[in-house]
Structure 1
Amino acid sequence: MQPDESQYLKRKCRTGDIDVHPTEKALVVHYEVEASVLGEAGNARHEEKKECQKIIRLRSLNASTDVSALARKVVEECKIIHPSKLAEVEHLLLYLQNRKKPSSKCKYLFKTSFPNVNNIDFFFDGRIDEEANINKTDDYIELLYESMPEKIRGSTLILHLARNPDNLEELLHNKTLLGALTRVLREDWKHSVELATTIIYVFFCFSSFSQFHGLITHYKIGLLCMNIIEHELKKYDLWQDELEKKSKDPENQSLQKEYEKTLKKYQSFLVKQEQLLRVAFYLLLNLSEDTRTELKMRNKNIVHLLVKSLERENQELLVLVVSFLKKLSIFLENKNDMAEMDTVEKLARLVPCEQEDLMNVTLRLLLNLSFDTGLRTKMVHVGLLPKLTALLGDDTYKHIAMRILYHISVDDKSKSMFAYTDCIPQLMQMVFEHGEEKIDTELISFCINLAANETNAQIICEGNGLKMLMKRALKLKEPLMMKMIRNISQHDGPLKQLFIEYVGDLAAQIKQEGGEEFVIECLGTMANLTIPDLDWELLLKDLHSLLTTINARNWYVL
């Protein structure tokens, strides 16, 4: 267009999504620029749109940064971010502030919806003495047709390319490369754990993005991974048997030397095998994002493979395995498979553990399983009750531990087991620490369940327990607290006698206008007080309006 044919250039900016940078402390602002060349009459002679992005680096962001203030500063200084996005910016900055630094051992960014395994790093070095070059891909493919060392070298160079997300699109379109990798993996995985790990790692890089899952399915890599995992777990059992045989006669020096030699080989084997298991399970975890693929895995016995892997000691592998089981456990069929395989018994040994991620995901899996009556009973039988009770004093885990314990307390047979732990004193302390604040629903519900057992009720009422409960309930008019007291009042013997001094207070609540739920619990408590020494006729005469009130509200004393 000639200069005299136009009047001026009009430019518009439209802000799109705002996201965090995958590796740096920075925000990425996506926006669209629309440029229009206007003629003399103001009409658009030419229009063009372009998608752009701006990176806002936040070098000063650290653990002590005032995120709210920084968000305001970012919005003020970056004109393409509308002020209405302030809350979103603050949320993203908070995420960046808490995000763990990526490991220097693995530059690849993992995309997965499973937070407990996001920061897993594979300690598979894949070291080579040259830098991988995307322009030499054909040379690396040629190496896959050579001897084993060349195959390992070629696949390792390809892996170094795949670990850079920018290369994945180009590698995706290289059908020769993908076909060769698949063929080598299918034919040679039994001959070299290192080769199998490297090639699976390449496909894992693709699996980290949903749009590449179809590619992995096309080459049947998921099924191959499951076959490899199954074989490796059987090999592990053979090693275990071999070690056990050679350790039976420690006094035989010749046999002892052979045992030590075998043990060293086993330890080397174990390190390599667990690297392979981690990358293979992680690939399958990514693919299971599609429920249809997950169902195929279930039909191929994925739950069995995962539960079998719970016997390992490698905590990084365990975090991954338990996370996978937790995802699967939301489906009834998978939960039933876990019930048949003694999963609870194997999880019990992980509680407690020092690794925070492993501890957290183990408890969450136990919570999912605790919805099943049979599995709750198993949790008691394998000794989880005192372990979970001990976690009530840990702020990090107490809420999830309480939810599991609450589920266990639902079963009448399990209620009595709480009397043999220090759970009840801890719960009473939590209740009284609330002061006049509202008690958490899960806490008071747990107490209500426990109070239905006579032995537990006696522990609750020790000292001034009942007095303090009654004082709080009558003052704050809490229906759930009164329900707990009502459960205590149903037990015969000395416990009923404790209520004699509160009969007048309970009757007074019935006469008052107030919350119906609370008053009903008071009435129910009085109905439980079948005490010979209590003269109901005299009580009703002294409180002449009590009977009138009960009749007026159309209640029945049960």
Structure 2
Amino acid sequence: MSSPASANSPSAGTRRKVRPGHIELDAQENAILVHYVTETLYCDASGEVTRSESIPGQRKIKVDVSDLHRDNVPVVAREIVERSKIIHPSRTTEVEDLLTQLIAPPIPPASQPQPAAAAGPSSRQRGDAYGGGGRGGGECGELLQLPLADVGMLDDYLEKLYDEAMEEKVAGARALLSLCASPSSLVHLVEHESIVGVLSRVLRDEGRKSPDLAMCVVGIFLVMSHFTDLHALLNAHQVAESTVRLLEYENKRWLVRLQELRQKRQGIVDTTKDMTDDDKQKALELEERRFSRVQRRQSRLVYSAILTLLHLSEDIGVERQLVAHHSLIRCLVPVLDRSPWTHVELTMVALTYLKKMAIIGENKDEMRRAGVLPKLLRLVSCVGGGTQTSPFVLLLACRLLYNLAFDPDVRVELVEGTASGRGSVLKILTDLLKEPRYRQVSLRVLSQLTQDDRCKSLLTYHNDAIPMLLQLVIHFPEQKVGRDLVSVAVNLSTHPRAAEIMCDTKLMDKVVDRVMKTRDALLCKVVRNVARHDVSRPKLYEHLNKSSIRMSHWLKEFARLAQTSLDAPELLVELLGTLSSMSVAEIRWLDLEGLIDLIHKLLSEGCGMTFAFSPLTGAINEAIDDIVLECVMLCGTIAANDSEAMVHLASPRFLTLFQELLTAKQEDDEIVLQLLYLFHCFLMHDQTRDRVMRESEISQFLLDLLRDSNLAIRKQASDSLSIIVEFDPQLADKVKELKYQVHNIEWCQIVRREEQGEILASEIARRARDGNRDGGGHLADEEEEDEFDDCDGRPGFLLWDEDEALADRYWGDVLAAT
């Protein structure tokens, strides 16, 4: 059988993964047996899994017991975990327990011999049933040694719970917990008519008096909560409510004990007795050990309570009730204050529960109010040094941070630094990028944070962040760059300073080269965004056109790639967008072979193009509109920077096409605006102005667009008409009249309606007296009414003798009645 190390080595068409199992002691050979399963996945040429197989195995780790004693057990356990690749550091406590048993193996009491045929579940099985097996078994080690129990004495055990002596209650609860370790015995407990109700009452009334009693009762509920069919029974007896109350009480008890420890520390330091520094140090260490021992026991209880609640919260109704009426989140958040490197399992289960609840908006807001963000940043910042957080704890903390980062207010609080006193969250996430196991989850958090401009701006001050991201992009092992990584790059490329730094890294040539090799549309969007900024565009062009770089003909390659990407509309949009962003006078667009013909083909056949459906572009119609828009923008870039190529675009075949687009896409303001800019470029040059004015109906289009509801379109149409008026005096009067009507549209409409007999004299009189507004031709005060001569019940004429009467361009609704 191959060793675990060799099982991980990949081969062609196969993938292997080693899943660690339970750990047990081989006392006869003084060794620790680590069980594992090797999973082999067989893949075809496309990477799809065709079949899989699992092969169990075990690895024996010899232990030198000659120098092993109780004082160096933690040191030996850490050495074993560091040497073994399949024992996770979070299971160090479990290895310590096995080493302790190797020093002094437990001897069963002589008064209770246990024959082999009647032997109950093994210690490992009891630990698994309780929740202490596997990775989280370290904190429940003391509960593995349970008394032997007989299911026939179930009523006797239940009777002990009613005894006044606490020792009897604990003994009865321990016996019931021992029965829960066996599935056959668990059936009898569930079928008993009153046992769950009694246990819930005992936990609610007596749980605070005895931690041992609370530990046993919660352990019973934890075993039952593993079975979904028993959730209704547990909820009927309010087990979740009783557990939350216990959890709240234990949090308060932890704070009290922590305060007592601080007082004892201060008392030892300030003591005036004849104590040397060594004596004070020993006294402090003694108090620390006592506190740690008590806290380990309490952590096991809190761990079991939270895990029970997590299982019961599979019903979303139960979870909402606990959050709304019992402040569950307020009980979970303080757990994160405990040391993450000594209470690993407890921190993990609390983070798992919070991560599950964070997807609901109300729960997310409650977590913010409870102060979860500073605690999460404290967990993720403990990387390196002597207080390194468990990898599982750090990953769960980052995932919870990712769920919370969907809220804009949370992102602001994180980026502004108000949530942490240990440094910037961006600095922390940048450091996590250097660790491969944390890279994906840190990229997910960054993809959320970089949606805000403030975060993008602050990230540019971290010198290693952007170069590291580009290096990850360039060396990404798969053909297409991962979504999380490329989303961060896309977000940063929209910021001018970040785009400039990307060009300064001298890595953009490798990014462009990867785009041409892999045809990655999202990565091409990064290049497009960098080319959009006025600061970064010249640097990008200069860097890619250096003679020392083989990318000097990258524009030709992009044009050639666009011609072969008709089956990939998302890539075609980005390629055309990149070319349209390169507004550089040195580019000779006619040298890009086939580009002008491609533009004509796409514009002329845009409404009838047949592309393969792509989930990135959504509906096919949307992809076509995007392609048409990018083509028009590219034409505008060419016309604004290359007069020779502009002449080709002003040819009759293109002018007819542009006019058809104005008619067909008149509802799309973006396309109409870009077409107006293109015609404006034609009108600005002598080579194309006469042809455009003579062979197209652009003047009429511009006159019609003066009435458009979009302000940008009206302004662009007005600017273009101003040029036409200079060279076509016959159109000047018509343009002036239309501009006047557009500027005084309300007044002209009233005149037109009045001429058609739609406005009566009484309505005109009412309009004259209606309102007291400043300007616009309405009466501002009572004195202005004297300027009107009310004759025969009709409003009179305004006096236009003074020049100031004509100063107001808008004359209001006061008209003379005929």
Same fold (TM over 0.5): yes
Deviation of 1:432 after TM superposition, in Å, equals 1.9
Q: C-alpha separation between the residues in 1 aligned to 2:532 and 2:426?
A: 26
Moved more, 472-481 or 452-461: 472-481
When structure 1 is superposed on structure 2, of 326-335 and 453-462 the one drifting more is 453-462
Change (3 A) 1:504 1:547: farther
Q: Which residue of 1 aligns with 2:390?
A: 355
Q: Which letter does structure 2 place at the counterpart of 1:267?
A: S
* Shift of residue 356, structure 1, vs aligned partner: 3.0
Amino acid at match of 1:208: H
Provide the rounded CA distance (Å) in 2 between the counterparts of 1:318 and 1:464.
43
Residue aligning to 1:425: 467
Q: 1:245 to 1:413 in 2, by over 3 A?
A: same
| Preserved contact between residue 506 and residue 523 of structure 1 (Cα < 8 Å) | no
Q: How does 1:89-128 map to 2 (within 5 A)?
A: 93-94=53-54, 105-108=123-126, 119-121=135-137, 122-123=139-140, 125-126=142-143
Could you report, residue by residue, the CA deviation over 1:115-156 in whole angstroms, capped at 9, with x for unpaired residues?
A: x99742251534768522212223323332151122212211
Match of 2:439 among 386, 395, 398: 398
Q: Counterparts of 2:570 and 2:444 in 1: how far apart (Å)?
A: 25
Query: Could you list the per-position Cα deviations for residues 510-557 of structure 1 after superposition, in whole angstroms to 9, with x for gaps in the alignment?
Result: 696344554544554455455688896672415754666987585637
The answer for unaligned runs of 5 or more in structure 2 is: 1-20, 23-34, 44-48, 59-85, 95-121, 546-551, 589-638, 662-670, 678-818
Question: In the alignment, which residue of structure 2 is the partner of 1:465?
Answer: 507
Counterpart selection for 2:333 from 290, 307, 311? 307
* Among candidates 171, 175, 182, match of residue 193 of structure 2: 175
Paired residues for 1:33-112 under 5 Å: 63=37, 93-94=53-54, 105-108=123-126
8 Å Cα contact 1:229/1:305 also seen in 2: yes
User: Of residues 464, 489, 493 in structure 2, which corresponds to 1:451?
Assistant: 493
Q: Which moved more, 1:170-179 or 1:221-230?
A: 170-179
- The CA distance in 2 between the partners of 1:436 and 1:181, in whole Å, is 55
2:203 equivalent among 161, 185, 199: 185
The one-letter code matched in structure 2 to 1:217 is N
Instruction: Tell me how far apart the structure 2 counterparts of residues 533 and 131 of structure 1 sit (CA, whole Å).
Output: 89
Q: Contact (CA 8 Å) 2:123, 2:144: kept in 1 or not?
A: no
Is 1:243 aligned to residue 261 of structure 2? yes
Aligned partner letter, 1:461? C
Aligned to 1:252: 271
**Partner SS for 2:436:** coil
2:402 and 2:585 mapped to 1: Cα distance?
Answer: 45
Larger radius of gyration: 2
Is 1:483 the counterpart of 2:499? The answer is no
1:292 is matched with 317
Separation (CA, whole Å) in 2 of partners of 1:488 and 1:550: 30
8 A contact 1:108–1:165 mirrored in 2: no
Separation in 2 of the partners of 1:488 and 1:117? 53
Distance across 2 between alignment mates of 1:431 and 1:464: 14
How far residue 366 of structure 1 moved from its aligned partner, in angstroms, is 1.7
Percentage of pairs with the same residue = 25
CA distance in 1, matches of 2:640, 2:140: 80
In 1, the alpha carbon distance for the partners of 2:403 and 2:143 equals 38
For residues 536 and 41 of structure 2, what CA distance do their matches in structure 1 show?
A: 58
Inter-partner Cα distance in structure 1 for 2:287 and 2:477: 63
Distance (Å, rounded) in 1 between the aligned partners of 2:392 and 2:520? 37
- Corresponding residue for residue 412 of structure 2: 377
Q: Could you state the TM-score of these two structures normalised by the residue count of structure 1?
A: 0.74
Contact kept, 8 Å, 1:388 with 1:401, in 2: the verdict is yes
Please state if 1:341 is matched with 2:366: no
Q: Distance in 2 between matches of 1:451 and 1:263?
A: 52
Q: 1:322 aligns with which of 351, 356, 370?
A: 351
Structure 1 position 213, deviation (Å): 1.3
Question: Are 1:331 and 2:395 matched, yes or no?
Answer: no
Query: For 1:415 and 1:499, how far apart are their aligned partners in 2?
Result: 23
CA contact under 8 A between 2:467 and 2:502: conserved in structure 1? yes
The 1-side partners of 2:36 and 2:368 are apart by: 45
TM-score, normalised to structure 2, is: 0.52
Aligned CA-pair RMSD: 4.0
**Aligned equivalents of 2:414 and 2:40: distance in 1?**
44
d(CA) in 2 for partners of 1:105, 1:245: 40
1:302 maps to amino acid: L
Return the letter of the residue paired with 1:339: R
Change (3 A) 1:68 1:406: closer
- Offset from partner CA, 1:77-133 (integer Å, 9 cap, x none): xxxxxxxxxx99x65x54978999998754248699x9x997422515347685222
SS in 2 for 1:461: helix
1:539 maps onto 2:568 in alignment: no
Is 1:124–1:275's contact at 8 Å kept on the other side of the alignment? no
1:42 is matched with none
Higher mean Cα deviation, 93-102 or 216-225? 93-102
- Indicate how the Cα distance of structure 1 residues 463 and 157 shifts in structure 2: closer, same or farther if over 3 A, else same: closer
Q: Is the 8 A contact 1:185 1:199 kept in 2?
A: yes
**2:496 touches 2:536 (CA, 8 Å); kept in 1?**
no
- CA shift, 1:435, in A, is 8.3
Whether contact under 8 Å (2:38, 2:55) holds in the other structure is: no
**Stretch deviating more after TM superposition (258-267 or 428-437):** 258-267
The farther-off stretch of 146-155 and 352-361 is 352-361
